Structure formats: C-alpha cells, structure tokens
Amino acid sequence: MKKTTSALLLLLIAFVLISAAPSLPKLYVIGDSISMRYGLFLEKYVQGVWQYDRKSDDGQAAKNLDVPVGANGGDSRMVLEYLKLKAPDKSFQPDVLLLNCGLHDIKRQPETNAIQVDSVSYRKNLEAIYQLLHKRSIRLIWMRTTAVEDERHNSRSKAFKRYARDLDVYNAIADEVMHRHGVPIIDLYTFTRSLGSEHFVDHVHYDDPAMQLQAAYIAGFLQDQIPLIQKRK
C-alpha cells in the first residue's frame, strides 16, 4: 500500500512540474530548398528552445530541389496560397513564422526571358502574406534570399535561368516591405556570401559545412527573439 501511495505521489509531483514548466515557443518554417537543407541542422540547434515545425512532405520535394512541391515552399504565390489554406485552421498558431521566398520567383524562361513572378506581383504577395499573418497574430521573421552567380547557375541549369541582378531587386523589395512593417530580417544572403563561393555544390545549393553555419547563424538570431515572444504572451 505504501509503495502504491509513493508511486502515485511521484506521478502527481511529476505532473505538477510538467504543467508548471513554461511551454517552448513554436517556430514554423516555410522556405525553398535552401531552407530544407539547412533545416536539418536548424532543427537540432533549436531543440529544447523552440518547438520546431515546417512545411513538410514524405520526401517528395527532395527528389528534385528545383521543382517546388511539398516541403519546398516555392515562389511567393505558392506561399500565399498555402497560408490562405492554413489560416482558417485555429490549431495553426506558431509564435514565429520564419519565411523565405524569392529563388523561384526570379526563374526566367530561356526562350522568352519571362520571369516567373514579376516584381509588382512579388511585392503584392509579400504584403498580402504579412497582412494575413498579422491578422492571425503570428509574428513574421523574414529570411533574405541567398546568392545567385550567373555563370555558375546558368551553365548548370537548362530548364530555367536565374540572374543576380533580379535577386538584388527582389531582396530589396522584400527589405522595403518588411522594414515598413517592422518585421525582423535575417540577412542570410550577406552571411552566406561571406563564406565564399567554394561552398556551392551545384547551381544554388551549399555543402554541409555551409549549411551548418547557416543554421547556427539563424539559431542565434532566433535566440534573441525569445524575450520579445515571451513579452507578448
């Protein structure tokens, strides 16, 4: 009888301690294939600090990183449509949504040079994304799009082209939209450029050492956001 009482008492104490412990803030990631790759390390680095989740699938997106399906968030139109579908779901309530879209927006058709999402639409999509999240009281953090090197990319990719000049324009548009709304910006573009071009493994993706450093850089930025999250609760 005493053993049973003691066991029940220990279970009760454990339950009280777990209930009293503050819950970890929720982080949700939407991004292109760059985010899929550094995300493997980011999830580990934020363990015990954030509840990590992201737009995901059963491995479909990893089969071709240039085709935006599943875990690959794709261009700004795709992100906006995805979030419109998620918005009515009251269980979708991350404290922070870490977002990037840009690499797929600046794809150009080799035959016509037509860009996938023009700059006016890109701006409108980002504005709509912000307003949607703001209405849901979801804090947005923006990730600047990583580099494109014209010769490297366009000598390897035949299905579509990308150009650094477009990337600069689209990063500047995103900077303007996010600054206007007071959205924090992680400058992964400048950080990754500082690592050097030798970390590319193909037209736009990076090797493991670079991805680990990217994830550490992002995790450090997110760490500084926690007091702001706690203040809002």
CATH number for the domain spanning 52: value is 3.40.50.1110
Does residue 218 have a pLDDT over 90? yes
Least confident residue range of 5-19, 26-40, 144-158: 5-19
pLDDT at 19: 37
pLDDT at 93: 96
- In this structure, is residue 66 part of a structural domain? yes
Please tell me the distance from the alpha carbon of residue 80 to that of residue 125, in angstroms, as a whole number.
Answer: 7
- In this structure, is residue 192 part of a structural domain? yes
- In this structure, is residue 15 part of a structural domain? no
- In this structure, is residue 7 part of a structural domain? no
Phi-psi category of 173—alpha, beta or left, where left has phi over 0 and alpha has psi -120 to 50? Answer: alpha
Question: Which amino acid, 195?
Answer: L
Q: Give the dihedral sign, CA 229/218/63/151.
A: positive
Q: Per residue in 19-47, pLDDT tens?
A: 334 689 999 999 999 999 999 999 999 99
* Measured distance between the N- and C-terminal CA atoms of the chain, rounded to whole angstroms: 44
Task: Using DSSP, state whether 116 is helix, strand or coil.
Answer: coil
Nearest by Cα to 101 from 74, 136, 119: 74
Does residue 188 have a pLDDT over 90? yes
Instruction: Provide the domain count of the chain.
Output: 1
Sorting pLDDT into bands at 50, 70 and 90, what band is 229?
Answer: confident
- In this structure, is residue 161 part of a structural domain? yes
Least confident residue range of 4-13, 36-45, 70-79, 95-104: 4-13
Task: Find the domain containing 152 and state its range.
Answer: 22-232
pLDDT at 121: 98
Please tell me the distance from the alpha carbon of residue 73 to that of residue 100, in angstroms, as a whole number.
Answer: 8
